[in-house]
Structure 1
Amino acid sequence: YQCEIHGLTLFCLITLAKSQGRVVVENYPSFFLPSLLKFKQKTWTFTSPSQSQVPSPKSQGPVPSTSPHTIPCPWPLRVSSDLNTIPTSKRDRREMGSLEEERSLLEDGLIQDETNGLYTGDGSVDITGKPVLKQSTGNWRACPFILGTECCERLAFYGISTNLVTYLTHKLHEGNVSAARNVTTWSGTCYLTPLIGAVLADAYWGRYWTIAIFSTIYFIGMCTLTISASVPALKPPQCVDSVCPSASPAQYGVFFFGLYLIALGTGGIKPCVSSFGADQFDDTDSRERVKKGSFFNWFYFSINIGALVSSTLIVWVQDNAGWGLGFGIPALFMGIAIVSFFSGTPLYRFQKPGGSPLTRMCQVLVASFRKWNLDVPRDSSLLYETQDKGSAIKGSRKLEHSDELNCLDKAAVISETETKTGDFSNPWRICTVTQVEELKILIRMFPIWATGIVFSAVYAQMATMFVEQGMMMDTSVGSFTIPPASLSSFDVISVIFWVPIYDRFIVPIARKFTGKERGFSELQRMGIGLFLSVLCMSAAAVVEMKRLQLATELGLVDKEVAVPLSIFWQIPQYFLLGAAEIFTFIGQLEFFYDQSPDAMRSLCSALSLLTTSLGNYLSSLILTVVTYFTTQGGKAGWIPDNLNEGHLDYFFWLLAGLSLLNMLVYIVCAKRYKKKKAS
C-alpha cells in the first residue's frame, strides 16, 4: 500500500487495521506520521522509505532509511464517517486521542508539534518533564508568583545591605573606610556567587531546583544574622564616653558567617529568577516574545518595590526599634518569598538543563587545538552539524555560522579519519557548529560586558559614600530625623516612576521612529544609562563641594559634626542613579538573555551580575588606592573619618571621569557588536 494519494491511502490503511489489527506501512512520507498514529487499533509497524523513494515535503531530499519500529496503540480506533476526511489538524486529532496521549507522543518524538499555539515551540516542559500546553501554563499567569518571589527576596536583601554600613560603624564600631570596604567586598561576593548557581542550573539541576535549594541556604543565613544582632553576647558593648570596644573574633565570626551564607544563597537566585521568568514566554511565538521585554521592566519594578520598603520602613525600624527586629523582618519576608515561589509550581514552564556550558567551551578549545593544522573550508555547510532540526545540545536551538573568530571553526572541521569511520561521537575531537558558536557569542559579548563594571562601581556608592556623605548633612525635618540610608528610597522612587513611563509611553513612541518592537535596542538602552551615570556622579560632587564650602565658612572643618545643609540636596544624585538603572541594568537583563545561547542563559545572567561584583571590588580597590596616595605625609586624605577634613568631592569627580571614559569605550564596542542568529 504505497502512500501515493493521501486520502485514499489512509482509507485503505484504516480498513486493513479494522480487519487484521496490524498493518505494515511502507514508503510513508514523514508528514503522514501524525495522522497515521491517530488511527491505531492494536499495533502499527512503520518502515521508513529508502533513499530513492518518497521525499518529505519539509526537506529537499528523501527521508533517511531507518529500521522498522513498532508502536503500541494506547486508545481504541475512532474513524470519521467521511472517509475522505484527513485528520491532520490538532482539533481532529484530539477527537481520536486525549491530550495526555498526544503529549506522550510529543515527548517520545513520534509526532511533531504544529505552530497553531497548542504547545510551546521552545521545548519547555512541566515539572514532570512533559510538553506543556500554552493555554494553561506560563505567560503572565505564572509571573505573579515569580515577581512576588523577587519582590520579597529583594526586600530581604536590601533590608540587610542598605543600612549595613551603619551597623558596622555604629554597632561593630568599625571606621568609615573599613566599613565601606567590608560592605563592597560582601556585595561583590553576592554578585560573584551567581556563577556557581548558574553553572549548576544550566548543567545539572535546572533553574527551578537551583532557586529552591539556594533559597533555603539564604533563609538560614538571614536567621543567623538576626540571632547575631539580637543576642547581647554576640555583639560588642555600646560606646562609653567616645570609647568604643571592638567586636571580638567570635562576634565577627558569627556575624560574617550569616552574612556570607546570604551571599551564597543569593548566588542561586540572582542568575535564575529573571531567566526563569523569561522562560515563561515562548521564544517562537511573536506575541509572547514582545511580552517578555515587558516582563523585564516589571521584574525590575518588583525589585524596587522591595527596595523601597527596605530603604524606608526597614531602615527606620533598624535605627529606632533595634537591629534584632530590623534584621528579623527581612528574614520573615525571605520565608514568604520561598512560599510564593513554590505556590506557582503547577503553572511554570521549565527548560531542561543542557549539560555543563564550561565543559562545552573547553571541548571547543581542545578540538580546535587538535585540528590546528587543518584548513577551515570556505563553505560553512561543510562544517559538522547535526542533521536533525534541533541542536545536539539539550534545550538549545541551532545557531547559524558566523564569519568571526574562524580559528575556533577548526573544532567543527571534519577530518579524513572522521569521514572514513563516520565517528562523530567524541566532542573533544569534533564539535558542532552550534557548540562553536556558543563560545563565539560569549567572546563577542565580552567588551559589552566589561563596560558594565565601571557603572557598577558608580552604583556601589549609593550604599557606601552616599550614606556617609548624608551622615554629615542635616537629617532633621522638624522633630523627625531621617536615617541617611533612607535617601536611597529616592533611587527606588525614581525606578518605580520611570518603569511604567518607559514601558507604556517611551517604548511605543520610540517604536514609531525606530521600527523596533522594544523601542530601543538593548545596546542603545545601556548607552543612555551610562551617560546618566556620568551626570549622577557629577551631581554628587557638586553637592559635596557645597557641603565642604559651608563647613569651611562655619568653622566646622576640625569638628566631626553635620553641616547645616539639608540631606535632601542628595535627591538629584539618587534620582539620576535610579534613571540610569532603568536603562543600564534592565538593558543588561534583556541583552544577556536574548543574545546568550539557549543553554547558557543562567550563565550569561550570572555574567551580567558579575559586573556588579567586579564593580564593587573595583570600588574597594579605588578606595584603597585613593586612601593610600592621599594620606601620604600625614595628610587627612580625601576620605578621612571626619569628612569635613577631606575631599570626598574629588573622589566623586574621579568616578565621573572614569564613567565618561567608559561610556566612550562602550560606544565603540556597541557599534562593532554583531548579534547572534538562531535557526
Structure 2
Amino acid sequence: MSSKSVDKVSQESPLELYKGDELHPEHNDDYLRENERWATEEDMSLLRHVGDRLPTAAFFVVLTEFCERFTFYGITGPFQNYIQNGYQVPNSNPGAIDGGQHLATGLGNFFQFWCYLTPIFGAVIADQYLGKFKTIVVFTVVYIIGNLILTLTSIPASIHHGGALPGLVVAMIVIGFGTGGIKSNVSPMVAEQYGRYRPFVRKLKNGTEVVVDRELTVQSIFNWFYWAINVGGLSAIATTELESNVDFWAAYLLPTLMCFFCLVAFVLGRKKYVIVKPNGSIIVKSYRVIVAGIHNYRKAKAENCLVMDEEGKPVGWMDYAKPSVSQDVSHDWTDKFVDELRTAVRSCKIFCAYPFFWLGYNQISNNLISQAGQMNTGSVPNDIMQNIDPLCIIILIPIFDRLIFPAFRRMGLELRPITRITIGFVFSALAMAYSAIIQHVIYTKGPYFDAAGDGDNGFNDISAGIQVPAYVLVALSEIFASVTGLEYAYKRAPESMKSIVMSVFLFTNAGGSILGFCFNSISANPHLVKNFAIISGLMGGVTVIFFFLFKHYDNREAQELKNNLVYGKEGDAVSALTSEN
C-alpha cells in the first residue's frame, strides 16, 4: 500500500472565525506537536484509531450545558406533582394546582413541544445574525426571566389566589424560548472547539503509534456532553426533596440560582472559545435553491432536455439549482452551497423515526412519575424515581466510552451510527413493554387496584423498586440513540448549517410531544397498560422499518472513511455524501 500522506484536499479547518486562531493553533493545517506526524494511507489501514484529548474550551461549554440542564430538570422534576395534585392535601403527594393527571401530562407535553420547537429560532438567529456565543448569552437571560416568573408565582400567596396555573403557563413559554435558543447552539459549539480535521499519528509514551481520529474525538465529545446533561439532570433529586420538605417556591429557587451561574460560567470561557462567524441568510437562500431546483427540473423535463452526469444518468432535481447546470439560475449561491444543502436534507432523513423514540422517553417525566405514585415509595417522593435514568447514564457513559466501544473496535466490530441508533430504539421498545407489565401488576394489587393515586386514594401494596429496570432500559436507549443522534446531526451537517440541522434533530422531540397529545386520553387510570403497550409496539415497528431503510448508510460511511473523505470538512465530501437525492 502507498505510504503517501493522506491528501490535504478538504482537510483544512473549515471554520471562519471571529476569534480563536491565536489560542487554537491546531486550526492551522500545518500544526503538529513534537510526537506527531501526518497519517499515511498505510497508517490509516493498519494502526489503531483513537480519539484525541478534549480542549479546555470544550470543558467550559460542557460546564455551561451542565448548568442549563441542572436548571431545566430542576424545574421540570416537580411539574407533574405541581400540576396534578392539590396544595397541602393531607396523606397525598405534594401539589399546588390540583389539575389531575390529564392536565399534568397535557401541559408537560406542551412544554416539551415548545422547548423543542424554539431551537429553530435560536438556530436562525445564531447562523444569520449573532453567532452562537452571543445567541446563547441572550437566550440565557431570557431563561433567567422565565425562572423568576415560575419561582414568584409558586409562593403560597400566589397559589392561594389562583396565580399558580397562569404563572406556570407564562413561565413555560418564556423558559421554552430561553432553553430553545441555547439548545440548538451549545452542542455544535462544543464540537467546534476541537479544530483538528486532518488525521495524524501520535506516538504514545510506551512507543505505540495510534491514528488520532476526528470522528472518534467528536463521538467522545458528545458522549461526555451527554454525560454532563445527565449529571445536571440529578438536580431533580434536590428539587423534589425541596418540594416535599419545604415548598415549591424553594424547589424552583434553586434552579433559578443555577441559571445565573450558567450565564457566569459561559461568559468566563469567552477568551478561550473558538467563535465562528454567522453565515448569513441560510434559510432564505435554502428556500430559493429548492424553488429554483424544482422549477428548472420541471422545465427541463417538459422540454425533454434533462442533464446527465458522467455515468449517463440524469442528475438530481436539486442539481438544476446549480449555476453550472442551469443558466437561468441566479448567482446568489454557488454549486458548493447546493451540494451542502442536499447533504443537510439527506442527513435529516434519519430523524423521521425519532419522534417515536422521544414519545417513549418522555414517559419518564409524566406517566412513569404518576405510576410511581401508585406504588409504595417509602419515605421519598414519587417524582424522585425519574432520577434513576440520569444516574444510570452517569455510570454507563464512561464505561461505554472508555471500555465497551474501544473493546468492540479492537475486535473489529465498529458500531456505526445506524447500528447504534437501532440498538437504542430496541432498548426503548423494551422499556415501554416492561412499563406496561409493571402497570398490569399494579392494577392487580390492592387496596385501590386500577384507581391507585386518583384523588385522595393512596398507593397499592407494591414497591416502586420494580420500576428500576425500566429506567435502566431508557438510559441504555439514550446512550445508543440520543447521543448518536447529536453526533450525527453535527457530523453530517455542512459547516454553514450546523445549528439549523441540530435544531431539526431537536425538533423531533417536539414531534414526540405531539404524539404524546394523541395519547392523552389513555394517559390515566385505568388505561395506562394500553398506553405503554401501544408505545412499545409503535417503537418496535419503527425500529424494524428504520433499520431496513437506512442500514446502507453505515456501509456508505465505512466507504467514506476508507476514502479518507470523512476526515475533512464534514459536508464537503460531497462526492460520497450527495450521490443520492
TM-score between both structures, scaled by the size of structure 2? 0.80
Give the conservation status (yes or no) of the 8 Å contact 1:360–1:435.
no
195, 198, 201: which one aligns with 2:123: 198
Q: Are 2:163 and 1:254 aligned?
A: no
Q: 1:417 to 1:491 in 2, by over 3 A?
A: closer
Q: Are 2:433 and 1:543 aligned?
A: no
SS for the counterpart of 2:275 is coil
2:404 corresponds in structure 1 to 506
Deviations 1:344-380 (A, max 9, x none): 1111112222222212221212322443333453346
Q: 1:330 to 1:416 in 2, by over 3 A?
A: closer
Aligned mates of 1:405, 1:315 — CA distance in 2: 58
Q: 1:574 to 1:369 in 2, by over 3 A?
A: closer
Report the residue type matching 1:284 in the other structure. Y
SS for the counterpart of 1:346 is coil
Deviations 1:39-69 (A, max 9, x none): xxxxxxxxxxxxxxxxxxxxxxxxxxxxxxx
2:322 corresponds in structure 1 to 412
Trace 1:577-616 onto structure 2 (pairs within 5 A).
577-616=474-513
Deviations 1:292-327 (A, max 9, x none): 22110000000000111x221221112211111110
Give the conservation status (yes or no) of the 8 Å contact 1:120–1:132.
no
Aligned mates of 2:173, 2:398 — CA distance in 1: 35
Q: Are 2:488 and 1:575 aligned?
A: no
Give the conservation status (yes or no) of the 8 Å contact 2:419–2:551.
no
Report the residue type matching 2:184 in the other structure. P
Give the deviation of 1:120 after TM superposition: 7.3
1:458 corresponds in structure 2 to 360
Q: 1:555 to 1:413 in 2, by over 3 A?
A: closer
Q: 1:669 to 1:167 in 2, by over 3 A?
A: same
Deviations 1:406-439 (A, max 9, x none): 0111111547867xxxxx8633xxx433222233
269, 272, 290: which one aligns with 1:365: 290
2:519 corresponds in structure 1 to 622
Give the deviation of 1:145 after TM superposition: 1.1
Q: 1:433 to 1:235 in 2, by over 3 A?
A: same
Q: 1:319 to 1:672 in 2, by over 3 A?
A: same
1:631 corresponds in structure 2 to none
206, 227, 233: which one aligns with 1:301: 227
SS for the counterpart of 1:325 is helix
Q: 1:351 to 1:537 in 2, by over 3 A?
A: same
1:30 corresponds in structure 2 to none
Report the residue type matching 2:465 in the other structure. F
Aligned mates of 2:59, 2:173 — CA distance in 1: 29
Report the residue type matching 1:145 in the other structure. F
Aligned mates of 2:23, 2:232 — CA distance in 1: 34
Give the conservation status (yes or no) of the 8 Å contact 1:120–1:133.
no
What's the % identity of the aligned pairs?
27
Deviations 1:450-490 (A, max 9, x none): 100100000111011001111110111xxxx1111111111
Report the residue type matching 1:495 in the other structure. I
SS for the counterpart of 2:19 is coil
Q: Are 2:63 and 1:158 aligned?
A: no
Unaligned runs of 5+ in 2: 1-6, 32-52, 85-94, 200-211, 558-569, 574-581
Trace 1:70-469 onto structure 2 (pairs within 5 A).
121-127=13-19, 132-134=24-26, 139-169=54-84, 170-230=95-155, 232-236=156-160, 247=162, 251-282=164-195, 284-286=197-199, 287=212, 289=214, 290-308=216-234, 310-372=235-297, 373-374=299-300, 375-379=305-309, 406-412=316-322, 414=324, 426-427=331-332, 431-469=333-371
Aligned mates of 1:130, 1:265 — CA distance in 2: 32
Give the conservation status (yes or no) of the 8 Å contact 2:141–2:178.
yes
Aligned mates of 1:404, 1:270 — CA distance in 2: 40
Aligned mates of 2:450, 2:180 — CA distance in 1: 48
Give the conservation status (yes or no) of the 8 Å contact 1:364–1:435.
no
- Structure number with bigger Rg: 1
Moved more, 162-171 or 251-260: 251-260
Deviations 1:63-96 (A, max 9, x none): xxxxxxxxxxxxxxxxxxxxxxxxxxxxxxxxxx
Aligned mates of 1:617, 1:229 — CA distance in 2: 27
Report the residue type matching 2:269 in the other structure. G
1:471 corresponds in structure 2 to 373
Q: Which has the higher contact order (CA 8 A, sep 6+)?
A: 2
Give the deviation of 1:208 after TM superposition: 0.9
Q: 1:404 to 1:140 in 2, by over 3 A?
A: farther
Q: 1:525 to 1:404 in 2, by over 3 A?
A: farther
Give the deviation of 1:206 after TM superposition: 1.1
Give the conservation status (yes or no) of the 8 Å contact 1:376–1:413.
no
Aligned mates of 1:135, 1:520 — CA distance in 2: 29
Give the conservation status (yes or no) of the 8 Å contact 2:13–2:195.
yes
Give the deviation of 1:172 after TM superposition: 1.0
Tell me how many residue pairs correspond in the alignment.
498
SS for the counterpart of 2:461 is strand
Moved more, 330-339 or 440-449: 440-449
TM-score between both structures, scaled by the size of structure 1? 0.69
Aligned mates of 2:314, 2:54 — CA distance in 1: 36
Aligned mates of 1:652, 1:335 — CA distance in 2: 38
Q: 1:415 to 1:329 in 2, by over 3 A?
A: closer
Q: Are 2:429 and 1:534 aligned?
A: yes
Give the deviation of 1:141 after TM superposition: 1.2
Give the conservation status (yes or no) of the 8 Å contact 2:120–2:503.
yes
2:546 corresponds in structure 1 to 666
529, 539, 550: which one aligns with 1:649: 529
Report the residue type matching 2:222 in the other structure. F
Aligned mates of 1:381, 1:227 — CA distance in 2: 67
Aligned mates of 1:647, 1:256 — CA distance in 2: 27
Give the deviation of 1:556 after TM superposition: 7.2
Aligned mates of 2:349, 2:331 — CA distance in 1: 32
Report the residue type matching 1:285 in the other structure. R
Give the conservation status (yes or no) of the 8 Å contact 2:376–2:462.
yes
Aligned mates of 2:324, 2:537 — CA distance in 1: 51
Deviations 1:235-281 (A, max 9, x none): 236xxxxxxxxx3xx55333321221110001111111111000011
SS for the counterpart of 1:581 is helix
Aligned mates of 2:144, 2:571 — CA distance in 1: 40
Aligned mates of 2:173, 2:507 — CA distance in 1: 17
Aligned CA-pair RMSD: 2.9
Give the deviation of 1:511 after TM superposition: 1.2
1:104 corresponds in structure 2 to none
Unaligned runs of 5+ in 1: 1-113, 238-246, 383-402, 419-423, 628-637
2:43 corresponds in structure 1 to none
Give the conservation status (yes or no) of the 8 Å contact 2:77–2:239.
no
Q: 1:555 to 1:661 in 2, by over 3 A?
A: closer
388, 404, 415: which one aligns with 1:520: 415
Give the conservation status (yes or no) of the 8 Å contact 2:54–2:221.
no
Aligned mates of 2:27, 2:21 — CA distance in 1: 17
